[in-house]
Amino acid sequence: MVTGLAAVTAAVWLPSFGLFLAGGMAAGAGAGVLFKGTVSTVVSLAEPRRRGEALAGLFLAAYIGLAVPVLGLGVGTLYVSQRLALLGFAAVLIAICAAVSRRLLRR
């Protein structure tokens, strides 16, 4: 996902449509793998009678996690150029991925 985000950001600055598509596919595939892992983790941790409730909470958090960053990116474009807003968006997401992965790898 991080590689895809970097490629999409670079494609906007260069500009390169092919790199943009490849980065989008890589970021999407990475996000899909991360989501699958998250669902598997929730299913394995939840008690069988509470799995539906746990998965509903996960999907609620996932939808909020999809909407809030995109809205933030849109608001960011009101104050800075689209390129800079995308660069900041990608930097924040990469920093979050780095922080989360460090924490998960410690376990």
Q: Over the stretch 2-22, which tens digit does the pLDDT of each residue have?
A: 999 999 999 999 999 999 999
What is the per-residue pLDDT for 107?
Answer: 63
Phi-psi category of residue 17: left, alpha or beta, with phi > 0 → left and psi -120 to 50 → alpha: alpha
What is the per-residue pLDDT for 8?
Answer: 94
Q: Residue 99 sits in which domain range?
A: 2-106
In the block, residue with structure tokens 């995308």? 86
How many residues does the structure list for the chain? 107
Count of structural domains, the chain? 1
What is the per-residue pLDDT for 106?
Answer: 75
- pLDDT tens readout for residues 71-101: 999 999 999 999 999 999 999 989 988 888 8
- pLDDT tens readout for residues 40-77: 999 999 999 999 999 999 999 999 988 998 899 999 99
Sign of CA dihedral 9, 10, 15, 19: negative
pTM for this prediction: 0.79
